[in-house]
Amino acid sequence: MFTAPFILAIDQGTTSTRCIVFDAKARMVSVAQREFPQHYPQLGWVEHDPEDIWNDTVTVLREAVAKAGIAVDEIAGIGITNQRETVVVWERATGKPVYNAIVWQDRRTADRCAQLKETGVEADVTARTGLLLDPYFSATKLAWILDHVEGARAKAQAGDLAFGTIDSFLLSRLTRGKVHATDPTNAGRTLLFNIVEQQWDDTLLKLFDIPASVLPHVHDNAHIFGQMDASILGREIPIAGMAGDQQAALFGQGCFHQGMTKSTYGTGCFALMNIGTTPIMSHNRLLTTPAYRLGGITTYALEGSIFVAGAAVKWLRDGLRLITHASETHDMATRVADSHGVYMVPAFVGMGAPHWDPDARGLICGLTLDATAAHLARAALEAVAYQTMDLVDAMRADIGPAACALRVDGGMAANDWLCQFLADVMIAPVERPGLVETTALGAASLAGLATGVWDGLPALEALWALDRRFEPVMPRPDRDRIVSGWRKAVAQALYKCPN
């Protein structure tokens, strides 16, 4: 087993790629980050250039190690966590992508999903995958590439193409094409993986017209997937852990017991509740998804997905130019006494759980002449909390009241005002850990388990430390009034105008 004290975590997100170096006490030693361009070729389409992601990954790996001042021989392993559902198809012989990565936010296959729903297959798909028929997931994106890139389907059927989510693409590149693999948390987001049987599902492959030859092997989350090529850092290093970003955050938050829940705030917002080793299907349009698989045993989670959280703040900055830096929203939100009746429903790319409406569009309502930029900033933050409340309410309806507090992480979790407002509208405690980079920590933890840096979940659980706990303090009538306003705003966003 490997005993060196440092783990590298590659955190490949929707807008940036990072590498964080952790020591054996799960402390951050260094971090390197690069933002990359987003591409919007048509309305509702979102793409990334996989070569941008690859080049940035190599750059941040080297920068993080240099900043840490550590020797390459001190690195025990590498963990990868990634934006999920984003699709890449590449040539096996050259590693060259045949098309841009189609991002999880992309809605181009909404009509195809609607057609499939009309055939009555969604209940069976959900029973096999824990998911819903929505363009958010990978299968219809993959089929679109095979059908719209000249020659792609013929090459796929001949075994010449490989499909993967970003983790699988990076693993292939890091190993110079030697390994084509993924893990259950990423496979489980494709609509092609049977989460009960823990294998690719022939019925689903036939439904979506996907040849099995393009699929990666599926291994446990803590596993020696392969060796990173020595040309990148000077020696081979085991790639020993992989998980989709939200499951990695659940793992990094130490949510190893049934009922424990976390919510991560990045471009989107994702709440996951550990439901144990039985895949309970939601009656409230949440997702059932693998949380992690260790030693062949799968732990499952209920998940609620919000497509726009931090992206709404980014829109205030880049689209409306109301702010210069995202951090300004904290001061702006506290500058005004209340929201002044202003609500933002950030359905810029449709609405996720529990509504699942790809045709919904964003709106701002309740505007008056004395509404200010501060009210809009506050409405954007409040929308994040309201959407989380909707997810947690759905979880409570499925599982029953959870005794645990909500553990939060991600960039927006550093905002004290948001954490307090979240506790108030949820009527539940919110816990923020000392280290909010729990997504990267989850990937590092998995790699550390596989390489012997940590000897089990109790050792990881002991590393979690509380920074601050937020208790609900808002009077119930005030809370009920503003929540009622939110629900009316959501109803307007979901309303379809008659033709």
**Average confidence (pLDDT) per 10 residues, the chain, 499 residues:** 77 94 94 94 93 97 96 95 96 96 92 94 95 92 96 95 96 97 97 97 97 97 97 96 95 92 86 92 90 96 85 82 76 81 86 79 88 87 92 86 80 89 94 90 96 94 93 95 93 70
Q: Work out the number of other CB atoms within 10 angstroms of the CB of residue 299.
A: 24
- On whether the CB atoms of residues 156 and 213 are closer than 8 A, the answer is yes
Contacts 24+ apart (CB under 8 A), 401-405: 402/259, 402/261, 402/273, 403/259, 404/257, 404/259, 404/260, 404/261, 405/429, 405/430, 405/431, 405/469
> How far apart are the two ends of the chain, measured CA to CA in Å?
65
- On whether the CB atoms of residues 165 and 87 are closer than 8 A, the answer is yes
- On whether the CB atoms of residues 9 and 19 are closer than 8 A, the answer is yes
Give the pairing type, strands 47-48 and 287-294: unpaired
* Nearest 10 degrees: Cα torsion 182, 186, 191, 193: 50
Indicate the domain borders of the chain.
6-246
Give the pairing type, strands 406-409 and 430-433: parallel
CATH number of 6-246: 3.30.420.40
Per-residue confidence (pLDDT) for residue 11, from 0 to 100: 96
Q: Work out the number of other CB atoms within 10 angstroms of the CB of residue 35.
A: 12
**How far is the CA of 326 from the CAs of 125, 378, 410, in angstroms?**
39, 12, 13
Give the pairing type, strands 6-12 and 75-82: parallel
pTM of the model: 0.87
Per-residue confidence (pLDDT) for residue 2, from 0 to 100: 46
Per-residue confidence (pLDDT) for residue 324, from 0 to 100: 78
